[in-house]
Amino acid sequence: MHVHLHIIVFLISHMNSSKAFTLLSLLCLITGLPSAQAQSKVAYLAEFNTGFDLCELHEMNISYGTKIGNIVTLNLDQEDVQKLHSFPRLLLLKKAAKVYPELKRAIPDLRADSVCMATELETGYTGKDVIIGVTDWGFDYTHPMFYDTALQETRILAAWDQFKTSGPHPAGYSYGTMHEGTAALMQAEKDTFNVYDYATHGSHVAGIAGGGGAGIGLKGVAYDANFLMVTFLINEAAVIDGIAWMKKKADQYKKRLVINMSWGLYNFGTLDGTSLLSKALDSFSNQGVVFVTSGGNNGGVNFHIKKDFNQDSIQTRIDFYPFNAHPHMWGQSISMWGEQGKPFSFQVLLLNGAKQTIYSSKEFNTSTHLGYFDTSIIIGLDTFTYNLSGSNNHPHNNNPNFQLRVQDKRNKFIVGLKSWSSSGTVHYYNLVELTNGVGNWGLPFTSIKPGWLNGDNAYGLGEPASNRSVITVAAHVPEIKLQSGQIAGGGLANFSSRGPTIDERSKPDISGPGVDIESSISSFTTRDYTLTRNVNFKGKDFPMARFSGTSMSSPATAGVVAMMLQANSSLSAEQVKFILKTTARQDLRTGVIGDTASKSWGWGKVNALAAVQMAERMRPSIPSDSVPPKYQIYPNPAKDKLFFSGDWNSVYTATLYDLKGKIIITGMIGSHTFLPLGHIQDGFYLLKIEGFSDIFRVVLN
């Protein structure tokens, strides 16, 4: 006999805020999720009309943080939310979603050792005068890996711990604590205890990107770079604030900035580059910030289903992570993303051990379901809980979507999902849901009956890995040269998430070494780890450990970017990404990657030497006596024709090269004579005109 303990259905958009707030608090008690009453201010993201001014928020006495483009980070109470909902310039207001998060072999694998030794380069590059920003948790500011190679001075310029409440806050922000300068950093010692306890991750990541070697030669990639570190609150508004703070600091220090983001989540974005976080990252990229992010570690999990519907349906089992395996386990979270204008339906099924259906939920359809639904079912002595939210047109991309959370604490049921539609494509993801909001790993969809579906590991890139402007990094096993001269390793890491994005863009972009990478970890950590060695510095032991993940391949790539920016500080974020993809190396493990990027490797393995060589060649040309300023190539960017404003009636011989020095085309050019480009692939090129000493940069798009 089925007994419904409670069913609460409400349409948030049709309720006043006080009733909605009361019911939301009740739902939190029922589901075990954190209550909104736990804090008076909640992080939000808002998008406003063009022309909006922050003074308008100030006049309403509303607390704001970062403005990037038309997006603003906010800390709001319920009264503030009411004010904003009646503000005519507001386009979208949403709660900020939660963010879930060996060198001696890795350096040669990257070909970074050749860059340091100036092999076929003008000089060696070590990241000097470039800042590596690290957004993470678990920083040990006192670790010798963050000192210079002589162990004399720390290379950390400043750190913002957004959890720490003692202050001082960074200028313009009302939360967290900033430590700037050696004295403040050494006094603070570490970031504060947070949802990851005293973690290990941030120090490990930073050590890979730019560790100084700690006196034992375990150098990171860009070991002369400086650091900015942000221990950020686990929401996307805090991430944007942290990035804005780093950008401001880098501008103050007059240094280029590359930011590593070894974290991600599937549930706070649209996974197609249209989220507010993605828009913010695109805006920062346009201002010169280079972002490198981990692709994710769900490559070994069949946690995804893509279904092209044609008047049919699917059924699959939702696998669960064991409840006793994590202290914050809540259940599973099922994300469903459909196609614009094509609604879909689903229902939850419960089956017994004999695979007989003993409960079917009501049918939920994206065109008719609005707001939030929550229910618990009692069958015998066991309780099953599920809740969901959804809409027919998500405000970022207008796609129908559902977010379903299911809980079976005693693991007494087989939990199934049935879904159907007349047409359109729907993507489904099965991910762990934790009560502290930081779950980020997949569990399989499985077939348990004839006609039911197994999941796959495709379309495995979450946020921010699916963003257009970031450099998304897969992971492979570092190569090692055996005594016989043969090369071992080099294969794709089985955990490395596969692409493409759900809107069918090529991702990841590149692959870096990410298996068994030895680096620094915090000496204050309360997390479990396997020690590889201790380094004694100033009378204290500092630990090293080996970790694996795209969290490791991402900072390795960020270190290469720091070398590129040292070689050519004028590179745009787009150019950096283009160079990495263009110079990526292919081998027996990657196979031949043609005109379309690999769903596993992107464009291949990071090749630091080739990337820095290209960065050198792309330096802005210095005007010479032979080319007066009035002479120029045009249009630039070009599409199918290129002219040169030389002497009015003169015609010159011109040669177009790719960035590796290969001749693409040779022809005549002048004010009335054009070099034909229509058959040439989009990208960056170099143009040499006979009789002139300058080399011109050309963009085709």
Can you list the domains of the chain with their CATH numbers? Answer: 2-95 (no CATH), 103-298+465-617 (3.40.50.200), 304-446 (2.60.120), 633-700 (2.60.40)
Residue entry with tokens 């599920």? 386
Report the chain's terminal Cα–Cα distance, integer Å.
65
79: buried, middle or exposed (CB in 10 Å: 19+, 13-18, 0-12)?
A: exposed
What pTM, to 2 d.p., does this model score? 0.81
The half-sphere exposure of 627 on its side-chain side, counting CA atoms within 13 A, is 18
- Whether residue 28 has pLDDT greater than 80: no
Residue entry with tokens 């983001």? 261
- In the predicted model, what is the mean pLDDT of residues 598-604? 95
Residue-level pLDDT at 99: 55
- Ranges 291-300, 600-609, 619-628: which has the least confidence: 619-628
- Ranges 171-175, 322-326, 473-477, 621-625: which has the least confidence: 621-625
- Ranges 120-124, 251-255, 342-346, 598-602: which has the least confidence: 120-124
H or E segment and range at residue 75:
strand 71-76
Q: How confident is the model at residue 621 (pLDDT cuts 50, 70, 90)?
A: low
- Whether residue 316 has pLDDT greater than 80: yes
Percent of the chain at pLDDT > 90 equals: 54
Residue entry with tokens 């339906």? 345
Which two three-digit tokens encode residue 339?
């196609």
- Judge contact between 504 and 596, C-beta under 8 A: no
Distance of alpha carbon 151 from alpha carbon 504, whole angstroms? 48
Contacts 24+ apart (CB under 8 A), 448-451: 448/317, 448/351, 448/355, 448/414, 448/416, 449/315, 449/355, 451/315
Distance of alpha carbon 547 from alpha carbon 340, whole angstroms? 41
Q: How confident is the model at residue 627 (pLDDT cuts 50, 70, 90)?
A: very low
Q: What is the mean pLDDT of the chain?
A: 86
Q: How confident is the model at residue 198 (pLDDT cuts 50, 70, 90)?
A: confident
- Judge contact between 170 and 491, C-beta under 8 A: no
- Ranges 104-118, 179-193, 486-500: which has the least confidence: 104-118
Distance of alpha carbon 532 from alpha carbon 546, whole angstroms? 7
Q: How confident is the model at residue 148 (pLDDT cuts 50, 70, 90)?
A: very high
Distance of alpha carbon 659 from alpha carbon 686, whole angstroms? 7
Residue-level pLDDT at 252: 96
E strands, 435-508, are 445-446, 471-476, 480-481, 487-488
Distance of alpha carbon 93 from alpha carbon 98, whole angstroms? 16
Distance of alpha carbon 313 from alpha carbon 307, whole angstroms? 9
Distance of alpha carbon 467 from alpha carbon 273, whole angstroms? 5
SS3 state at 130? strand
Distance of alpha carbon 61 from alpha carbon 52, whole angstroms? 16
Q: Which neighbouring-strand residues pair with 131?
A: 226, 257
- Ranges 106-110, 540-544, 624-628: which has the least confidence: 624-628
Residue-level pLDDT at 102: 52
Highest mean pLDDT among 30-34, 54-58, 185-189: 185-189
- Whether residue 604 has pLDDT greater than 80: yes
- Whether residue 22 has pLDDT greater than 80: no
- In the predicted model, what is the mean pLDDT of residues 130-144? 95
Residue entry with tokens 């944007």? 240
Residue entry with tokens 């990541």? 205
Residue-level pLDDT at 215: 93
Which two three-digit tokens encode residue 171?
């200028």
Phi, psi of 598 (to 5 degrees): -70, 145
pLDDT top residue among 86 and 300? 300
pLDDT tens, residue by residue, 202-212: 999 999 999 99
Residue-level pLDDT at 17: 36
pLDDT tens, residue by residue, 656-671: 988 777 889 999 998 7
- Whether residue 262 has pLDDT greater than 70: yes
Give the CA-trace dihedral at 332, 334, 335, 340, to 10 degrees: -170
